[in-house]
Amino acid sequence: MMKMPNLGLGTFRLKDQPLRDSLLQGLDLGYRHIDTAQIYDNEAEVGQLMSESGVPRQDIYLTTKVWISEFGPGKVIPSLELSLEKLRTDYLDLALIHWPSPQDEVPMAVYLEQLAEAKARGLTREIGVSNFTVAQLQQAIEILGPGAIAHQQVEIHPLLQNRKVVEFCQEHGIAITAYMPLAYGKVLAEPLLMEIGQRHGVSAAQVSLAWLLAQGMTVIPSSTKRQNLAANLAALKVKLSPEEMAQIATLDRGERCANPDFAPAWD
């Protein structure tokens, strides 16, 4: 089974030419991890671009996420089968529950058990969740048993460090993917990150990514410009000192970018 590369291409809000620019250039530069979701409405385009790229399917780690409208009894698996059809593949590397069911409208056991069934049927190699609180992660582990939830994808960057969730995941062997790792570009203006970047001859964005990567997290920034895609990839080589890591940890101010009205009560 392919291990998730710790730097991936996020496709949130990307369609048409921007999506094409991002994926084809990214795959050409050496990215081998693509993150999409049913609600992004770009799975068919992602599938088309993957086949156009000439990179063999087995060399790409592919994630999609099940939308909240597909949680009811008997709905998760058909929704994933449709995703597979759009993505032109017969398996996912990772299938995630995109958000917990708002107000527990659909009981967690209903959709998580279907997700586990999708894995048992070979539709996906690993399963996980996204945007779950510590209490919800605990509930998920109670439902599926220890070790079943392989990943949690959640917003993390220097301005929102989500420490309680991170610690819980680390304790329970749940890998973390940090989405919006650049806080929609807000980190680029942080004087401390710029200063550390200057010391290393890199950008504030690269410092932010390197800080997350150094903590063992996967990051999925999105970009459509070749130079930025290459720069994000180069963050893998940036090594921050323990002092720099500690300094960046002081930037946490709970600045959340993704907070829809159906979001859970965050930790």
DSSP tag of 101: P
Whole-angstrom distance, CA of residue 61 vs CA of residue 54: 15
- Which residue in 16, 12, 21 sits closest to 182, CA to CA? 12
Burial code (b: 16+ CB inside 10 Å, e: under 16) for 208-247 equals bbbbbbeeebbbbbbbbeeebbebbbbbeebebeeebeeb
- Which residue in 217, 208, 165, 173 sits closest to 4, CA to CA? 217
The active-site residue out of 31, 40, 111, 179 is 40
Write out 125-182 in H/E/C secondary structure: EEEEEECCCHHHHHHHHHHHCCCCCCEEEEECECCECCHHHHHHHHHCCCEEEEECCC
Q: Note if 40 is an active site residue.
A: yes
**Residues involved in catalysis:** 40
